[in-house]
């Protein structure tokens, strides 16, 4: 049986570390509040150069992560059939970041598509890669999750609820057709659009001439906003539902799960989900303290770090699960 196996992982984060203490220079907040409410101690943000622009692009970060994953998998650029790039922050309105990666890595006209599914983008991307591989449309796929969020944030007291949570970075995996037990066993995907405006970024928007105007900016509608408590409540519930559903679909039980790799949204969400699922802390991956919420990048960064730390061994059963803006959520069950 042909399955879509993850053969390599990689990640890249900007050099600049922004600590909770740094945040207190720009807004009314404290290290204590941020650590207690979210578990975040620091995050990486791109550096803004003297020309007023980020010194690295999102696609460049994704390409660096992908190059590592390809080296680990022993895959050459010419072997990549498709790039699936999950991001809510493309470097430009169009085209998506995937095509820039095709160029940066010299992928010889490999297909490229972006997925706009925010925090669950990488889970959707893995599910899509699995489908393409099983259908024979592609044999080797790069799935990348990457974000530059810092440039979208309102880094003042007004925007503090969002600003302290989010970080920049990219992670990538190489997914390839393989025979045997190894690979993506099942995926589940969901959305509930009635909550779209409870975690969103309205502008720039195709609905107004010029896409942005002084009124939108004056009203702060070019900043992301969310109803934090509502998102928290739904996330905890949907994470657990998706884990149960994907396990059932893949014919496995929670006791068999070696590592749960949840989207890193909030340490309290991670702990609540682990507890509700009956998984001890050493079987639930967390690195939110160092990177914050990097949206579509949290899971591939976590997979990279978990693999490097020897926490993902051949044959392990792994669950990835995410919830976020849309609302969208989903999970993948993977035999490593
Ligand atoms: O990946 C999906 C994306 N997002 C999420 O998953 C986020 C989900 N939500 C959360 O993680 C949490 O709701 C937050 C971390 C955002 C907030 O934690 P909370 O325990 O829900 O906070 P709260 O609502 O109990 O506290 C809010 C209070 C407000 O003050 P008042 O109205 O109670 O006086 C805020 O103004 O905390 C205040 N606050 C802050 N204070 C210091 C909000 N942000 C900050 C801040 N520093 N950065």
Taking the C-alpha atoms of residue 36 and residue 57, their distance in angstroms, rounded to an integer, is 32
Whether residue 293 lies in the annotated active site: yes
Cβ 160 under 6 angstroms from ligand 1 = yes
- 124-150 average pLDDT score: 98
Mean pLDDT rounded to a whole number for the chain: 98
CA of 133 from ligand 1 middle (Å) equals 41
> Structure pTM?
0.97
What is the rounded average pLDDT of the residues 22-30?
A: 98
What's residue 1's pLDDT?
A: 87
Atom of ligand 1 nearest to the CA of 23: 48
- Best probe residue, ligand 1, of 155, 200, 228 (max atoms within 8 Å of C-beta): 228
Residue whose CB lies within 8 A of the most ligand 1 atoms, among 31, 37, 121, 198, for a mutation test: 37
Percent residues over pLDDT 90 in the chain: 99
For residue 107, what is the enclosing H or E element? none
pLDDT for the residue 254: 98
pLDDT at 16 over 90: yes
Residues 287-320 as b or e (16 or more Cβ within 10 Å = b)? bbebbbbbbbbbbbbbbbbbbeeebbeeeebbbb
How many angstroms does the Cα of residue 37 sit away from the middle of ligand 1? 7
Residue whose CA is at the smallest distance from ligand 1 atom 1: 265
- Alpha-carbon distance 74 to 53, whole Å? 34
Pocket test for ligand 1, best of 35, 122, 147, 161 (most atoms within 8 A of CB): 161
Q: Report whether residue 155 contacts ligand 1, using a CB cutoff of 6 Å.
A: no
- Catalytic residue status for 263: yes
CA distance 132 to 135: 5
d(CA 285, CA 320): 10
Provide the pLDDT for residue 8: 98
Task: List, for residues 53-105, the tens digit of each pLDDT value.
Answer: 999 999 999 999 999 999 999 999 999 999 999 999 999 999 999 999 999 99
Active site annotation includes 119: yes
If you take atom 28 of ligand 1, which residue's CA is the nearest one? 161
pLDDT digits 0-9 by tens, 252-295: 999 999 999 999 999 999 999 999 999 999 999 999 999 999 99
CA 152 – CA 295 distance, rounded (Å): 13
229 alpha carbon to ligand 1 midpoint, in Å? 7
Are the C-beta atoms of 182 and 3 separated by less than 8 Å?
yes
Please report the domains of the chain, with CATH numbers, ordered by start residue: 2-180 (3.40.47.10), 185-335 (3.40.47.10)
């Amino acid at each position: 049986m042909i399955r879509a196996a993850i053969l390599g992982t990689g990640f890249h984060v900007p050099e600049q570390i922004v600590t909770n203490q740094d945040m207190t220079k720009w807004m009314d907040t404290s290290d204590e509040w941020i650590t207690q409410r979210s578990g975040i101690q620091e995050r990486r943000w791109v550096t803004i150069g003297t020309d007023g622009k980020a010194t690295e692009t999102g696609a460049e970060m994704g390409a660096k992560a992908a190059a590592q994953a390809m080296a680990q998998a022993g895959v050459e650029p010419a072997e990549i059939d498709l790039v699936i790039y999950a991001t809510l922050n493309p470097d430009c309105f169009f085209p998506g970041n995937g095509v820039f990666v095709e160029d940066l890595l010299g992928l010889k006209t490999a297909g490229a598509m972006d997925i706009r599914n925010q925090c669950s983008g990488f889970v959707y991307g893995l599910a899509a890669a699995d489908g393409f591989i099983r259908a024979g449309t592609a044999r080797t796929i790069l799935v990348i999750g990457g974000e530059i969020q810092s440039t979208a944030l309102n880094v003042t007291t007004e925007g503090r609820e969002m600003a302290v949570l989010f970080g920049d970075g990219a992670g990538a995996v190489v997914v390839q057709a393989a025979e045997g037990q190894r690979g993506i066993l099942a995926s589940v995907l969901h959305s509930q659009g009635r909550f779209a405006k409870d975690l969103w970024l309205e502008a720039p928007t195709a609905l107004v001439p010029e896409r942005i105007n002084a009124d939108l900016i004056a009203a702060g509608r070019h900043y992301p906003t969310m109803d934090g408590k509502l998102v928290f409540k739904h996330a905890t519930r949907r994470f657990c539902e998706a884990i149960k559903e994907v396990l059932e679909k893949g014919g496995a039980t929670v006791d068999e799960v070696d590592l749960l790799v949840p989207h890193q949204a909030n340490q309290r969400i991670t702990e609540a989900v682990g507890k509700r699922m009956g998984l001890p802390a050493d079987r639930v991956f967390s690195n939110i303290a160092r990177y914050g919420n990097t949206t579509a990048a949290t899971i591939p960064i976590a997979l990279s770090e978990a693999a490097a730390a020897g926490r993902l061994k051949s044959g392990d059963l792994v669950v990835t699960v995410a919830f976020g803006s849309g609302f969208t959520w989903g999970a993948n069950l993977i035999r490593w």
